[in-house]
Structure 1
Amino acid sequence: MFREPGSQVEHDEIEHADVVVVGMGAAGCAAALAAHDAGARVVVLEKTGPGEAGGNTRVSGGGWFHHDDPERAAVYLRALCGDDRPLPEPVVRAWSHGTREVSAWVESLGVEVGPHGHFNAAGAEYPELPGSDCYGGLRCVEGTLGQGRLFAVLEKALHDRGIDVRYETPVARLTTDALTGSVTGVVTAGGERIDAGRGVVLATGGFEGDPELVRTHLGLEDVPVWGSTAATGDGLRMAQEVGADLWHMDNMMAVNGITDPASRHGYFAMFVHSRGVIWVDDTGRRFVDEFVPSGHGQALIDGRYVLHPHRPMWVVFDEKTRSAGPISGSADILPVGWNVLMNGYRWSSDNMTEIEAGWIRRGDTLEELAAVTGLPADALAESVSEYNAACAAGVDERFGRSAATLVPLLEPPFYAYRSGPMLAWTNGGPRRDEHARVLATNGTVIEGLYAAGTVSSTFSWAKDGGFHIADAFVFGRIAGEHAARRIG
């Protein structure tokens, strides 16, 4: 068979299935289970091996948003979208009713579900918005956060049902009907062709692991990622190749993160032991309230919900903050993230291991710190001086930072690290409808193609705790059930 240089050889033999699911995080597992339980023959194709499968679901908190009132949940979702990023009402209704059923569905997999104490007590992240009273807290397997518990339950459910799961099988492209444009199956990177008689579900995760896509759509350069680097926009590209429209491409969740410069994975920088820290940009100037109350990616600043953080920054602190306790939590504090769960890294109690490794720069004076970071010395010194004056006065007139967080930077040596910021996940991808069907640029349905999870998140802007897992389950299940009942 002739092939272009660099292309994959396609096998002449075509394998047949009813539904092919690409990816096996929360959305992919939910789609596969729903399609199987609806009577379909399902094949799950997972890009990575068994030891890394599951994408961000594997290293997430594994908790989902719980509520008992679909009408109020719909109000809350509309408010989180804002006036300029509305969602189609059928999508809102599918989400608000579907998220109510998530806890019962997880319980149906044979595990106990319970509230997570801290996050239940914390309440909604955007209490000022209408509908936030619907927030019923975070539910987790056995009421316990993280440690990969949720993914273990999902993977076991796939295997218990005998669903065909193929690890280390990335998908290269979709196949389509030449006359109708309908999606008919997939071709793997190894050249295997699998016909999907009823549909293909894309559940490949976001594009945070692809620097080019991050640069193009988010305007960020060389940022570390919190989760799986296998989230490289595969589903996004495949959907675009068959004419998909896109939505939410500029939306993301970014955090203040710190990383080993030699690694693409980062760590949450939490600063729970001391608030003596400021953020400055490359000019050496503070640019934001560092501890403004924020949700999963957005904060209310100057009357608008904006991405927070949204650009590269230097995080500056002093010896008192350095010695107060670890900047980043280990698994016994917050059992989430790739470095913590997959690489087993335990942050040093005094941050000295990371300083000595060069992850954090050090200067005996602010002038020395400026020299090792490349920041303008005068501007850095002025920023620290202005901040310390605000601490002394108990009022941050420039950015409105809460007085309770105003801890001065007085004790040398001084420290700084660069935060890209760190990407937890992206939200944009192929536009879909309330049935999780992917839509073309002209608004019509691309028959046979579905998307769920962060490859095509529901959230056009702000989102609360546990929203992404809940969303993945809702539209994963919808995609699997709809595909299983579709006549190709």
Structure 2
Amino acid sequence: MQSAQQPYDRQTGVVVLGAGAAGLAAAISAREAGAEVLVLEKCPPETAGGNTRVSGGSWFENLDAQRAAVYLRSLCGDLPVSEAVIRTWAEETRHNTRWIEGLGAAVAVNGAYPPEFPHLDGADCYGGYHSLEGRMGDQLLYRFLVDAALARGVEICYATPGRELVIDGGVVTGVVAESGGGPLRVRARTGVVLATGGFENDPAMVRDYLRLAPCPVWGSPAGTGDGHRMAQKAGADLWHMGNMTAFSGIRVPGSDTGFFMVPPATGYIWVAPDGRRFVDETPALGGHGQSRIRGRDELHPAQPAYVVFDERTRRAGPLCPPREYLPVGWKVLIEGYEWSLDNQAEIDRGWIRRADTVEGLAAGLGVAPETLAETVRHWNAACAAGRDERFGRRAESLTPLEQGPYYAFELAPLLGWTSGGPRRDEHCRVLDPFGSAIPGLYAAGSVSSTYSWAKDGGFHIADALAFGRVAGRTAAAPPAITSDLEETSASSVG
């Protein structure tokens, strides 16, 4: 931890680490509150913006703050978060559309998206997706927020990752960053906002907290837990570190990032390394990290597997949705990869294995041929009977695997983003393990998202915008406030 006794290279009012949706919302709000603001962004301009840049850029429309609070409690289940945080989330997400429009954006409804958890109380608050121009992805939200921040006098320094917080008498007073190969010490007169993203790209943290072997990521490779470590060194407590949003994805050899996979036909099954099915591959509900499995909203997918399909599915269309349909993800937007329409290019690259028989496919995967052949026979019999007695897969999705050649790829939980990080209160103040705020330190976005368990579509951008605003205006003018945790602790002592 750096000492404040060393000289600073720069001074400003508020320092924001990270130029994604949360960081830019914090910067704009702090600037509107009258603060001088400096944003330090880890990446160069070409790849800056974290997951916001390659996300759908949509936020959910909150139709009723009171019902939204009920929905969030339901989504948290038996992993509750502070009631004060829930109330602030419900109120602030209600204002997201108005705030974006107030910055000069044209906002419109983006398709008819129902709630992903309609069985939960409060789901009637969900009004679907709102996006700039009613369009999903294509970096629209990121580019708009950058322009809005610059137009309001926010300074953004790219290729300047934060490395350590400066502490003076228990107060966070600045940041040591790296710039041009050397240290850059920046003093923050009123506060530092951590908006550094998740830890999905740090293999050790993924193993320790998510209990997964290193997984490919869907978004920016820059989410390596930098803000988490800085906050921990400053004494921060952590919350819901075991939560994540993962998608069905393909692992690409030699790459840290992967593709979001949506097979265009239902003729496929998932098998574990032993060659056997282990789950309903197409659960009817959920989609942003959890699905309804065995009567519970469970993480899905939560373990590696092989996706096995046949020639009919191979010819049905691209496994990865084309950019014109779904312009999201690192591979698509930043690397510019265009998945082949018939999946043949990816077979030729070796990303997808091919064999004339199921047994031959199994041998190539290192799976017992007789086991995989038996699994496929049982699957085809279930399709013929119109009922999956093992896992209850929907009847309309029961398509047999009977047209060779046969194919498989390694399905990995494609990590979209992690949810846990430094615990914060409703004012975005980072808290220590005893519930006391660490003066001068704030957090918003995926570095410390609100979601302890399930979350709906558009929730992460909504959370980033809402608490980014809270963090920015609080850091600009820190009030004398007491968090719920501190009040509870005080009353318990009394």
> What is the CA deviation profile of residues 266-324 of structure 1, one whole-angstrom value per residue up to 9, with x for unaligned ones?
1111012x100101111111010000022310011112111000001111101111111
1:393 aligns with 2:388: no
Q: Which residue identity lines up with residue 188 of structure 1 in the other structure? A: A
1:88 aligns with 2:77: no
1:230 aligns with 2:209: no
Partner of 2:101: 107
Partner of 1:381: 373
1:207 aligns with 2:207: no
Partner of 1:288: 279
Q: TM-score, normalization: structure 2?
A: 0.94
- For residue 276 of structure 1, the aligned residue among 262, 267, 278 is 267
Structure 1: distance between partners of 2:171 and 2:268 = 54
Q: How far apart are residue 421 of structure 1 and its match?
A: 1.6
1:48 aligns with 2:43: yes
Structure 2: distance between partners of 1:385 and 1:377 = 12
Q: TM-score, normalization: structure 1?
A: 0.95
> 5 Å matches for 1:40-439?
40-82=35-77, 84-117=78-111, 121-177=112-168, 179=169, 181-189=170-178, 190-272=182-264, 274-293=265-284, 294-439=286-431
Partner of 2:484: none
Q: How far apart are residue 330 of structure 1 and its match?
A: 1.6
Structure 2: distance between partners of 1:12 and 1:448 = 19
Q: Give me the CA root mean square deviation.
A: 1.5
Shift >3 Å, 4+ stretches: 10-14
1:123·1:137 contact (CA, 8 Å) conserved in 2? yes
Structure 1: distance between partners of 2:479 and 2:196 = 24
**Structure 1 stretches lacking a partner, 5+ long:** none
Structure 1: distance between partners of 2:273 and 2:434 = 42
- For residue 25 of structure 1, the aligned residue among 16, 20, 33 is 20
Structure 1: distance between partners of 2:268 and 2:251 = 17
Structure 1: distance between partners of 2:371 and 2:227 = 44
Structure 2: distance between partners of 1:287 and 1:39 = 56
Question: Secondary structure, in 3 states, of the residue corresponding to 1:125?
Answer: coil
Q: Which residue identity lines up with residue 388 of structure 1 in the other structure? A: N
Question: Secondary structure, in 3 states, of the residue corresponding to 2:387?
Answer: coil
2:31·2:153 contact (CA, 8 Å) conserved in 1? no
> What is the CA deviation profile of residues 119-171 of structure 1, one whole-angstrom value per residue up to 9, with x for unaligned ones?
xx231000111100110110000111110000010000111112111000001
Identity of aligned residues (%): 56
Q: Which residue identity lines up with residue 349 of structure 2 in the other structure? A: A
2:57·2:136 contact (CA, 8 Å) conserved in 1? yes
Q: Which residue identity lines up with residue 314 of structure 1 in the other structure? A: Y
1:126·1:295 contact (CA, 8 Å) conserved in 2? no
1:220·1:420 contact (CA, 8 Å) conserved in 2? no
**Structure 2 stretches lacking a partner, 5+ long:** 481-494
Q: How far apart are residue 487 of structure 1 and its match?
A: 7.2
